[in-house]
Amino acid sequence: MFLHQVPFRMSGSTYWADFMVFWNDGSVTVEDVKGMKTAAYKKQKAMMAVHFPAVEIQEL
């Protein structure tokens, strides 16, 4: 199962993940489709690492 456009709210900002995927083995991945890594994306990804350290963003 997967969710589309999942918001992660942080102090003063919201990161919108393209997909959150729930796998049969119980694991969960956060996936983002990127054509180009913009400065804004890099900043939000760094903020995600601070606010949600257990969440790893997989870039496709």
Which whole-number Å values give the CA distances from 55 to 20, 47, in the listed order?
Answer: 10, 11
Q: How many Å from the N-terminal Cα to the C-terminal Cα in the chain?
A: 18
Stretches in the chain below the pLDDT threshold 50: none
Which whole-number Å values give the CA distances from 45 to 1, 2, 4, 10, 25, in the listed order?
Answer: 24, 20, 18, 11, 26
Q: Are strands 28-32 and 13-22 parallel, antiparallel or unpaired?
A: antiparallel
State residue 38's pLDDT score: 94
Which whole-number Å values give the CA distances from 14 to 7, 17, 40, in the listed order?
Answer: 6, 10, 11
Q: Could you tell me the residue ranges of all domains in the chain? A: 2-59
State residue 12's pLDDT score: 87
